[in-house]
Amino acid sequence: MILLSGCKYMFKFSLNQKSLLIYYLTFIFISSQTILKLKNDLKNTTMSDKVKFELEFVIHASPQLLYQYISTPSGLSEWYADNVNSRGEMFTFIWDGAEEQAKMLKRKSDEFVKLAWEENEDDSFFEMRIIVDEITKDVSLFITDFAEEDEVDEAKMLWENQVSDLKQVLGST
């Protein structure tokens, strides 16, 4: 007789059920491994479709002022979207009547904001980081974002246009 015990249950199998038990356990193990591999492959495929890119823009404004424009709904409404609303960590961005939601993942006052679009099923995000050069004291806005490989140039142009609007609002052109 074979005895299998787990956390809560104990099972007894006779010797004539031994081969059936081995087949069943092997099937469960292989199935679970296959499912995990497929899940990981799907996640990696989804993430690998997007390419990380970074942009840097010199901004003639104080880090404190710039942070208000990248972290608050009223500041973002001035340059990033037609309108922005927030409730807790959720931000709603509105362009031409279309809404998109993003979750604030992380922020540090006067330094950076990191958000992720709710519709994305991968680990992509976009981040706006304020960098102050230690020697020259120049202020830069450092953008990190993700886009499909064939859309990176378009995404970069969009950021360039939006940051141009930000500079105009700040009087930094």
> Do residue 72 and residue 140 come from a single domain?
yes
Q: Are residues 94 and 154 in the same domain?
A: yes
User: To 10 degrees, the CA torsion angle through 158, 82, 122, 67?
Assistant: 80
* 26 and 76 inside one domain: no
- Secondary structure (3-state) at 122: coil
Residue-wise pLDDT for 85-132, tens only, equals: 999 999 999 999 999 999 999 999 999 999 999 998 898 999 999 999
Answer yes or no: do 14 and 63 share one domain: no
Q: What is the pLDDT of residues 62-89, one digit of tens each?
A: 999 999 999 999 999 999 999 999 999 9
Looking at the structure, tell me whether residues 69 and 97 fall in a common domain: yes
Confidence tier at 7 by pLDDT (50, 70, 90): very low
Q: Give the bridge partners for 147, in sequence order.
A: 51
Q: Does the pTM of the predicted model rise above 0.75?
A: no
Residues 21 and 100 in one domain: no
- Which of 105, 83, 86 shows the shortest CA–CA distance to 96? 83
Number of domains in the chain: 2
